Amino acid sequence: MFGDYSLADLSSIFVMQGFAGLILFSVYVLMALGLAIIFGQMGVINMAHGEFMILGAYVTYLCSSFFQAHLPSLFGAYFFIAMALAFLASGAMGMLVEWALIRHLYKRPLDTLLATWGLSLILQQAYRTIFGPREVGVELPSWMMGSIPVTDSIEVQINGLFVIAVTTVITLGVALLIYRSRFGAQIRAVMSNRPMAGAVGIDTEKVDRYTFGLGCGIAGIAGSAFTMIGSTGPTSGQLYIVDTFLIVVFGGAASLLGTIASAFSISQTQSTLEFFLSGSMAKVLTLLAVVAILMLRPQGLFTLKVRR
């Protein structure tokens, strides 16, 4: 499959596809972070995570239309506001869902799977009713369009760089929150032993609610980033949820570093293979590789070395 390309072409292709993979990686990381936090904290597999992401994407779309229509002078800065709003909207809805639905099902993990899947269907229909079945795209401010030429054959897109920067900041922020803050210590205590966390004085229900909100809020930001690589429709979240599950399992649950490493390897493999093969063949090969590795290492890529 490499035969038709010269060596210089090939290296350019790898760099460009690698860069495209990085954008995909960013969306995956943000999605998987939220999913992994929620799964690690309360053992809930949130099937509606993709819809929380799409909520963030729709919020970004609404922001872009609003600024275009009413505040064109500030259009250049709208994306930052859109991301903050996407985080708040998805986070608030996450907390509402936790309060109304999830907290009643903590002792029934299979039921949460069904309930969140039902929720995802409800949300998809709600989006279809509110925003229409057609996919919408956002208008990017002019400074985010275009690309920077690095060499004759390699160009990097500015919006890609922006998404990567945002992802880096948020991942670092989440890592600081979880490993350095008091709230993070409470999250880890509840993850490690829920009844005991209550018995040392941690309000586990409050921690659950905020954690669910945080995970969904990060998905909202992922949705904001997603608007730059795809158009937003009611069912767009479905395309990402499976890959995100794969990343969480592959990375080893409860390991932030593992999640990042697995998102990186999966997105890079996919993006590079997609150039040479068809999209579905790329997916098949990626999945086969993941299955093979998980058979050899069922605990995922990274695990903590500690007595349990």
Partner 1 sequence: MLQTSLSPSSLVPPVVPGTAPMLAISDLHAAYGQSEVLHGIDLDVAPGEIVAVMGRNGMGKSTLMKTLMGIVPTKSGTITVDGTDVTALKSHARVAKGLAYVPQGRMIFSTMTVQENIETGLTVTGSRKVPQDLYTMFPVLLEMKGRRGGNLSGGQQQQLAIARALASNPKVLLLDEPTEGIQPSIIREMGRTLKKIRDERGLSIVVSEQVLSFAMDVADRVLVIENGSIVHESLRADIDEAQVARFLSV
- Of 31-39, 158-166, 188-196, 279-287, the segment contacting partner 1 by CB under 8 A is 188-196
Query: Would you report the helix, strand and coil content of the chain in percent, each value rounded to 5?
Result: 75, 5, 20
Give the shortest CB-97-to-partner 1 separation in angstroms: 22
Among positions 195-224, residues that touch partner 1 (CB under 8 A) are 195-205
Give the shortest CB-201-to-partner 1 separation in angstroms: 4
Residue among 18 and 198 whose Cβ is closer to partner 1: 198
Buried b (16+ CB within 10 A) or exposed e, 84-99: bbbbebbbebbbebbe
Residue among 3 and 195 whose Cβ is closer to partner 1: 195
Is there binding between residue 42 and partner 1 (CB under 8 A)?
no
Is there binding between residue 70 and partner 1 (CB under 8 A)?
no
**Rounded distance between C-alpha atoms, residue 198 and residue 193, angstroms:** 9
**Rounded distance between C-alpha atoms, residue 207 and residue 205, angstroms:** 5
Residue among 143 and 206 whose Cβ is closer to partner 1: 206
Is there binding between residue 43 and partner 1 (CB under 8 A)?
no
The Cα angle at residue 99 between residues 95 and 100, in degrees rounded to 5: 115
Over the window 143 to 182, marking each residue x when it contacts partner 1 by CB under 8 A and - when it does not, the resulting string is ---------------------------------------x
Give the shortest CB-178-to-partner 1 separation in angstroms: 11
Q: What does the block give as tokens for 212?
A: 């669910």
Instruction: Find the binder of partner 1 among 188, 230, 277, 285 (CB under 8 A).
Output: 188
Residue among 70 and 308 whose Cβ is closer to partner 1: 308
- Please choose, from the candidates 186, 226, 215, 205, the residue with its C-alpha nearest in 3D space to the C-alpha of residue 94: 215
Cα distances (angstroms) measured from residue 230 to each of 7, 71, 81, 135: 31, 25, 20, 9
Cα distances (angstroms) measured from residue 53 to each of 60, 104, 145, 274: 11, 23, 23, 24
3-class DSSP state of 48: coil
Residues binding partner 1 (CB under 8 A):
182, 185-186, 188-189, 192-193, 195-205, 254, 304, 306-308
